[in-house]
A = this chain, B = another copy of it.
Amino acid sequence: MKIQIINGPNLNLLGTREKEIYGDLNFEKYLDKLNKYFIDIEIDYYQSNVEGEIINKLHEVGFSYDGILLNAGGYTHTSVAIRDAIKAVSSPVVEVHISNVFAREEFRHTSLIAPNCIGSISGFGLDSYRLAIEGLKVWKK
């Protein structure tokens, strides 16, 4: 089973930025934990601040991987293009958020990408990623 994690804008600063919201663990260290937890799953990781590169990556992996975890960060609320990319590929995509986006500013309550994802998980901190993989494992069966 192969899973791609795609992190969008500003998530490269995890562990540095706004720790009261996002925690103080950087994503690479968390990825190590994740790999140890799911030893039978190949987990690829990609981060970009560029909307179009996220689309490129979705195209690249979206016809062969067993699932994609997408935390589109700020693009979640503004990108029709990523929304279309998710629909265009065949791999199931799960929307992931570290924080509970619904408890923050109003413009974060609308997700343009959610309608084309199979599901959405938010608010569990970095553990949201683990839950999404758990969900995909069952989903594939």
Contact = CB atoms under 8 A, between A and B. Distances in A.
Contact of A127 (B84, B117, B130, B138): B138
A50 interface: yes
Number of copies: 12
A55 B74 CA distance: 11
Interface residues of A, number: 62
Majority secondary structure, A binding face: helix
A64 interface: no
A116 B18 CA distance: 13
A2 interface: no
In the complex, the 6 A-B pairs of residues with the closest C-beta atoms, listed nearest first: A119-B123, A50-B52, A74-B81, A102-B114, A74-B80, A17-B88
